[in-house]
Every structure is written in structure tokens, then in C-alpha cells.
Structure 1
């Protein structure tokens, strides 16, 4: 163990906001149609299945982080086990995943604002670039500013999503969840795997471990709280939105399905409210991902596995080189990439990483085996199903 004193500045609200902000980002706004088209009226079960794998992975991550007592997540775990090449490979893959997710969040931000404003065809791309630029500026101001913004954004967006869910569930009719050809159990797994990036985000706090107050106690407490919060809102929204728009509209217009639900519920005020929630949600997800993944890049750079420039901090204490590099790559993908490819690529990356994390916890005999073993099996099984689905085998 490192034996470092716990003198960080991030308390429970800030760490919870970073984790939830990282999870409840573009996923629920841009990929709800993907889950429903794959799983039909069992779409909520897909989110629950994904949440269980995420919970197991969060348990493994917390146990490994507390055992090692250092920041860095899977990278530092593999490095300390004497596997430097595998550690570097894992870090590069993970950083690629974070660039993809930032691009998804920015793409979704642009799609919702473009839909609400009804501007020219280039407006969504311009709004996507704007979101990344603003959150980059916030991150360059330092950890305290980014964390404070994160708390406010997460509370606001969850309040709007909860209100939308309550309105939809007040009109609940199970028949509205159905689609013409209901898929079987395989559709549930495909639905969970295809949008697994919706649960990416909780692992970001491992990179901020040394900036937490009373970090060992906080690391163990935060995982079920943050992952449970995300899973709950996903399930409620998944059940509520079809009550307002019908499942066909969600499948056909998945990129802005929640905007249509808000408009169906309250007209123009509902459209505006959901657009604000989407902007806050995706914006905070970009913020949280840049905030923490830049610190991963800084750690890897310090070990000589990435260019030294990525580890340089500015006057505010932010890893400027890493923030600017990750943001620039995400901006390019958000403007030029397609949403489906970005989502599926990110899901493959994080299922692989989460499976490895659970396997590491098993190997190191940390955490509860009754949790880590099903987590490893579930993540790798979902990864195989997703790859087979993407290549057209199933």
C-alpha cells in the first residue's frame, strides 16, 4: 500500500456527481431506441442486466483500488502486477473508449439542440463542437471548478428526467411497450450489450481516488449509490417514454426520442425542458469524462507510456496536455462520425475492460467472489454476444 494520507478535496456529493454524470450522459438520450428495438417490452430488463454487471464491476474496482491504495484503475493494477505491456495496452484502449464516449455525448448534445432550434443542417455539428469546447475550458480551470459544476448539473438533469418519468408512468399501459415482433431472451442481452456505454462512467472516480476525502471509506460507499442511481433512472425512463410517444416513434427517432416525449407530455414547455436536460446531461458527461480520463492519461504519461506533454499541468493544476488532446480527438469524431458506430465501439471497449476488472479481482482474491465471478462471466458473455451481433451472426 502507498500509505499516503487522505488529504483530498472531493467529498461524497462531488464523487457521486462525477460517477453519475459520467453514466447518465448521452446513453439514455440517444440509445433508448436501440434497447427497445432489441429487447421489446423487456427493454427495462436490459437496463437492469447491464446495471448488475456494472455493480459487480464497481465492487471489483472499489476493492482493487482500496487494496492498492492508489489512483489509476485497471492501468495501475496491471502495472503493479508486473504486466507493463498489458497495462499500456489497456490504458490506450480505455482512453480510446473515453474519446468515443465524449464524441457520443457531444453528438447527442448537438442532435437535441438542433431538433429543438430547427436550424440549418450544420447546426447539430456546431453545437457538438461548442459543448466540447465549453467543457474543455471548465476542465482547464482545475478540479474544484469542474466538480462544483458537476454537482449542480447532475441534480438539475435528474430532476427533469424524474419529472418526465413520473408523468409517463402516471399513464402506464403495458400494451404500449410492445413491438410487432417481440424478441426473446437473446434480444434482452443484445439490448444490454449494445448500449453498455450507458453504464460507463463509474470507473472514472478511480482516477480521482487520491483527490477524495477519506478515500478508502468513500470508495466502498460510492459504487452502489452511484450505479443504483443511474440504473433507477434508466429503468424509469425506459418504462415511461413509450407511454408518451409509443414504441414505434422511439425506434424510428431514437436520437431525439426524449424530446418527443417531453413535447407529447407538455407541448413546447416539455420539449424545452427535455432539451435542457439533454444538454445538461451530455454536457456533464463530457465534463466528467474529460476530468477523470485526463488524469489517467497524465498517470500513464508519467510512466513513459504516453508522450510527456500529456502529463504537463497548467497554473490551475489541470493536466492541460491530456485535456486538450482528448477533447480534440472527441471533437473530430463528434463532427465526422456516425452515432451507431460510436455507441457500439464504446460498448465493446467497456465490456472488455469491465470483464478484465472483474477477472483481476478474482485473481487477486479481493472483494466478494459471489459478486466478482458473475460480473466477469456476465461482462465477457455480453461482449461475445455483442460482437456476434455486430458481425451479423445473431
Structure 2
């Protein structure tokens, strides 16, 4: 899905619809399935606001990503921006931070895949979810090593399928309008500050739109496409998340969403439409997380190879197999992500990934302000919002907030 090889630049495969689908798929690929229960546990009935504020920060940051990519006329995201500005040391740090962040994201998606897959078969054995998580990473890493890529038409169909299922679930919950079910028990009272903390926790759900910057040379009318696709994708994703954060708890109850947070939406689907709802949401979750794992491993291995070619990462990351796939990066990312998926709980993985991407997004907004590119106000708000959410997340982790 994402490639740094400019030899393909003449193909111009991505139009506005395809680019929009790639960005939405990157965000919804595992975001809402992984984070809803975690965010509700922190923000309670303010979870919808956490998603709204997080979306606003992502929207502002998308402005900076698109403007910088168009101005520099180069794919590669924050790493390439820093290289182009001769901030070599910062570029090297950014490459490693991105590698860590995307590896954490793969671990979150794999953990979620394992939980939904085991839940689908009603298997409670403690080893089954981790086994499924490791298996899906191994299979998809193997597919990546064979040089497989996702077609735009497949991504479009997958994205619309997920949106239909998620929005249908949210619509049923809102139709039954029961705001009292959004509230956690009295022993878990949550104030408005919970929404601000939740913004930090939720942020990995918005990781994905920036991957369009890596595909810049693959777009038709690239300046216009990236400038429109990024904000449209963030708005569509934000609206979906807000509606699901309202509708799903109204079906299953906030307490049950938190209790079953690894498979929260499947349980909400069961409450909405019985077995059919359970199966539909489970299929959407399993397919989405698997797709997100594949795309993220694909992108991250190529980012590392690109940096290795610039001598900013070890040359091992630049090693390619007979299919021209950077095999060392692919294998390393898969192994580390599988290990994290086995030992890490969903809360820790989500919060760690969110923190990394908040820092990356703050950096991109700061670069846009330094370059005086894009909308100054949006970049300023994106910078302040990213840093504030990161601070709230740290305070929460240390028990201060």
C-alpha cells in the first residue's frame, strides 16, 4: 500500500477516492475496535468528546502534513521533512520513534485480532488470543515478504464495508436513545477532565491518515488529492468514532464495554442484532485488524529501508530479498510486535502508541510553523493540542490526573 520507491511514480494509481480510502482504512483499520473500551474506562460518558477532540487535533495536523508534503514535493512524512530541512539528527531520531510507534501499533492490532478471533469461537483458554495474535503477524509478515500489496479497489470495498457495519451499529444504539447507559457505575465517577485524558489515550485511533504522505508520488493530481483526501478522511473517521462511542454503550452499557473492552464492539453487536450482529462486527474487526497489520508492516519496513539508504539507520534495514522486499525490517517488526502482543495488555499498548504519535504529530505541526506553510492557526492548534494531550496522558499514567 505504501512505497518509497519513486520508480513507480509514473503509475499515479491513487485518485481522491482511493487516497481517502487508504487514509480512512489506516485509521479505522484497528482504531475503534482496539480503543473504545480503553477510552470509556478513562473518560466514561465523555468518551465521545475524547474522540471529537482527538479528531480535531488530527484534522489540524493533517493540514500540516499535506502542506509540508506539497511544499517539499517529497514522500516520507516527518522523517523526510526533517531531512529536507537539514535537521539530520532530528530526522534520525524521528525514524527510530516512528519505527517504535508503528511496531506498537502492529502489536495493538494483533492483540485485538487475537481477542476477537478467540471470542468468535467462544474459547476462553488464556493461550488462544496470544496464539492468534502471533499467528496473524507471522502469516501477514510472510505475505509481505512475498511482495504482496493491497489493491485500491479492495481497500475501497473494505473501508465502506467497515463504515456500514460501524455506523449501522451506532445508529441502532442512538435510535434506542438511553444516555444513562453511557455512565459508569458510581464507584467509577468520571468528570470532564476524563475527556481530556481520554484524548491522549485515544490518539492511536487516528494514526493512519499520515501514511498518505508516503504515497504522495502514487497520486493523480497529487497536490490537490492529498490536500483534500487527508481532511476528508479525518472528518469521516471522527464522525464514525463519535457516533460509535455514543451508540455502542447505549446498546451494551458502558460497564459491559469496559469489562469486555478487548471485544467490546462484538458484544454491542450481539446486544443489537443477536448472533448476526455479533458475527458481522467480529468479521469486520478481524478483517480490519488483519488489513491494518499488513499495511503497517509494509509501510514501516519501507520507511526503515529508506532511512537506512540515507545512513540514518543500520544498513541491515536496507537488505532486500529476491522480491525487492526489505526483509530484515519486515521480520524484526513482526517479531517485536508479536512479543509485545503476547506480554502487553491492551491498555498499555494503546497508551504507549498514542503517546508516540502525539509527539510525532506535535513535531510535524512545529515544522509547519517553522516553515510558515499551511494554515498557521490550524498548525498552532495542532501543536498545542498534541502536546496538551501528551501531557495529560503522562499525568494520568503517573496517577496525577
Give the structure 1 partner of residue 44 of structure 2. 40
Q: Distance in 2 between matches of 1:271 and 1:225?
A: 30
Specify which of 70, 84, 89 is matched with residue 88 of structure 2.
84
2:79 aligns with one of 69, 75, 78: 75
CA distance in 2, matches of 1:263, 1:99: 32
Query: Match of 2:127?
Result: 122
Q: Over aligned residue pairs, what C-alpha RMSD do you find? A: 2.0
Any gaps of 5 or more consecutive residues in structure 2? Answer: 1-5
Offset of 1:136 from its aligned partner? 2.3
| Correspondence for 2:68 among 42, 64, 69 | 64
**In the aligned structure 2, how far is the partner of 1:188 from the partner of 1:42?**
5
Partner in structure 2 of residue 107 of structure 1: 111
Task: Give yes or no for contact 1:129–1:331 (8 Å, CA) kept in 2.
Answer: yes
The worse-fitting range, judged by mean Cα deviation, of 295-304 and 52-61 is 295-304
The residue number in structure 2 matching 1:24 is 28
1:139 corresponds to which residue? Answer: 144
Partner residue of 1:164? 169
Aligned residues: 392
Task: Tell me how far apart the structure 2 counterparts of residues 277 and 32 of structure 1 sit (CA, whole Å).
Answer: 15
Asked whether the 8 Å contact 2:107–2:337 carries over to 1, the reply is yes
Aligned to 2:338: 331
- Residue 310 (str. 1) matches residue 314 (str. 2): no
Q: CA deviation at 1:17?
A: 2.7
Question: What is the distance in 1 between the residues matched to 2:138 and 2:218?
Answer: 25
Instruction: Please give the secondary structure, in 1, of the residue aligned with 2:176.
Output: coil
1:8 aligns with 2:15: no
Report if the CA contact (8 A) 1:7-1:214 is conserved.
Answer: no
Does structure 2 conserve the Cα–Cα contact (< 8 Å) formed by 1:51 and 1:199? yes
Residues 134 and 338 in structure 2, CA contact (< 8 A), matched pair in contact too = yes
> Are 2:38 and 2:347, in contact at CA under 8 Å, matched by a contact in 1?
no
Report the Cα offset of residue 382 of structure 1.
0.8
Greater Cα offset, 150-159 or 232-241: 150-159
Residue 136 to residue 14, structure 1, CA distance change in 2 (3 Å): farther
Give 1:252's match in structure 2, choosing from 255, 259, 269: 259
Equivalence for 2:201? 194
* Residue of structure 1 in register with 2:377 after alignment: 370
Q: Structure 1: any 5+ residue segments left out of the alignment? A: none
Q: Secondary structure at the match of 1:183?
A: coil
TM-score (norm 1): 0.93
Q: Is the CA contact (8 Å cut-off) linking 2:19 and 2:226 kept in structure 1?
A: no
| C-alpha distance in 1 between matches for 2:16 and 2:305 | 24
| Alpha carbons 1:6, 1:214 under 8 Å: kept | no
Moved more, 152-161 or 80-89: 152-161
- Contact 1:162/1:233 (8 A) holds in 2: yes
SS in 2 for 1:157: helix
Change (3 A) 1:66 1:379: same
* Equivalent in the alignment of 1:360: 367
Aligned twin of 1:178: 183
